[in-house]
Every structure is written in structure tokens, then in C-alpha cells.
A = this chain, B = another copy of it.
Amino acid sequence: MDASVTLLDQLIAEGLLIRTGVEGLYGRSGVFEDVIVRFEALVSRVGGADGAEVIRFPPAMTRRQLETSGYMKSFPQLAGTVHSFCGGDHDHMDLLATLDEGGDWTQKQEATDIALTPAACYPLYPMVAAQGPLPPGGRLFDVQSYCFRHEPSADPARMQLFRMREYVRAGTAEEVQAFRQRWIERAEEMIASLDLPYEVVPANDPFFGRAGRMMKVNQREQGLKLEMVIPVANAQPTACLSFNYHQDHFAHTWGVRLADGGPAHTSCVGFGLERIALALFRHHGLDPAAWPDNVRRVLWG
């Protein structure tokens, strides 16, 4: 039996996750949520002294921003746009008739101005650019949101809707690279304190199609993406954190500028909150009350 199915089955049987009928879309129990709350509190303690600006976006962004971001070019298969019905009484009767007949009633809807957020930091960059040049020393942000990626899977570590916590740094190349290096070290210490086995490895984003192959190679060769992988539910360990250096990509996409008008560089560290919770359940058991004392102390104090 597939190991990922086994862990998922255990989580379902224990009531930690709740099936909805769609792969990758699960309810969470209070116990599961509490692990995420506690892990986020740990992240906040570790990152707290840096004085990040806390910003929270809903789990959606404007479709216009998704378009401008280039996401449809690189990851069209993962994006989700929101469609709604905009007709009158007569159109509504048509829609209901189509629904009753088992037809595709969503054809009667139109695309709204809204798309689901693919990564917590996506709505941040246009906001930063709109607020004008960075002050000397740059800016640092703390973001978190539910994210959507259309990749139905029986692997509990590959959900269609999951939460990502991120710190995002904008500044000079030196500033953002130092930020990334500091967070790699912090993350190693943090994950080690939770008694989880890990490795930090070069990685690439899942760029789409034939044209995407070169993007993957380039991203790896330039060391722009590192992931912290932890065994979760598969033979291969799962990326639970990522450390990304975007160079001046968002300066060109959005106009994020340094105080002197030059292009800003950006970097982010992302925590895959459900994946980290799953790793804890996988390695320490399904009952957090029975987790090792040292792990419990780190999370529950």
C-alpha cells in the first residue's frame, strides 16, 4: 500500500483530518489546528525581534495582479480563478435547469475580478511597489494565508488548499541574501528542536510544460530556491520550508524600488504549515499529548 495513503487514512481515522469527497480538500480538527497555531507562535518568537510589518491578505488576490505576476505563464495548471453568476431571473432558470440535468451550469458564470492566492506573498509585491521606494535598509514583512493550487492528490502533504506563513524581505541584493541565509540557519535550529529529520537541498518550482524545463534548470543552477525537506508521507521527503531569492524579478514585474530608485531585490522564507504539522504527526504520533517532552516544551511552553 502507498505510504501516503496510509498516513492519510490514519489521520482520517483519528479525526485529525476530515474527508470532503475531493482529494486535497480536508477539514481539520481542533487538535490539528492547535499544532499549527503553536508552530506559528514558534515562528513568531524566532522572527519576532526583527520587527516585521504584519500584513494579512484574504486567500485571494485580484485576477489582474495574478495576470501581471506572470503566474499564468509559469504555473497555469495550478492557478484558480473565481467565477460567479451575473445574470437575471431568466438566466437563473436556465442555470438551474442545466444543474438539474447534470450539465455544466458553471458555463453560465463569468470570471470575476478575483483569483485564489497561489503563495502568501503574491499580493504583497504590488502593495509594496504602490507604497513607493523602500526606505534605506529596506522592508521586512510577515504574511500568512490559505493558498490554492489545483493539484488533486491522495498525498496528504499535497493539499489543494493549505496555509503558508512567510517572511518577505525587500532591499539590496546583500540585504536579502543575508536575510535568506539567517533564516536557513534559524529554520535548521527550529526544526531540529522539534526532533524532525531534515535536509536543505537545491530545488525548483514546478514550471509548466516544455518551456518550463529550462526554467527549472536555470533556477537550480543559480541556487535561487532552496527547500528544507522532511520525510512526511512518501518515499521521497517533502518540501516543508522554502528559501527563495527572486533577485530583482519583482522590481521588473511590479516596480519595487530602492530608496535611490534602483531595482530592489527580494527574498522570502515560506513555512508550509500543514506539511510541518503532518511531519510532526508522522514522526511523533497522532496524539500531541504523547509527543516527546522536549518537543512539547518547544511548542506548548
Interface, chain A (partner B; CB < 8 A): 18, 20-22, 25-30, 32-33, 53-65, 67, 72-73, 76-86, 88-89, 92, 95-96, 99, 104-106, 109, 111-114, 116, 123, 126-127, 142, 146, 148, 150, 152, 159-162, 208-211
Given contacts A80-B112, A85-B76, A99 and B67 within 8 Å (CB-CB): yes
* Distance (whole angstroms) from the CB of A98 to the closest CB of chain B: 10
Give chain A's interface secondary structure class: mixed
Given contacts A61-B20, A152-B113, A55 and B77 within 8 Å (CB-CB): no
Among B28, B79, B82, B89, the residue within 8 A (CB) of A55 is B28
Of residues A25, A63, A64, A84, which shows the largest number of chain B Cβ atoms within 10 Å of its Cβ? A84
Among B63, B64, B86, B161, the residue within 8 A (CB) of A60 is B161
The answer to whether A33 and B56 have CB atoms under 8 Å apart is yes
Could you show 29 A-B contacts with beta carbons less than 8 Å apart? Answer: A20-B57, A20-B65, A20-B123, A20-B127, A21-B64, A22-B62, A25-B58, A25-B113, A27-B123, A27-B127, A30-B56, A30-B142, A33-B54, A58-B59, A73-B96, A79-B84, A79-B85, A80-B82, A80-B83, A81-B82, A81-B109, A82-B82, A82-B116, A82-B150, A83-B111, A89-B211, A92-B208, A92-B209, A106-B111
A250–B114 Cα gap in the complex (Å)?
30
Among B25, B63, B85, B142, the residue within 8 A (CB) of A77 is B85
Among B55, B59, B95, B150, the residue within 8 A (CB) of A59 is B59
A111–B54 Cα gap in the complex (Å)?
34
The answer to whether B111 and A25 have CB atoms under 8 Å apart is no
Given contacts A22-B113, A28-B57, A59-B59, A84 and B95 within 8 Å (CB-CB): no
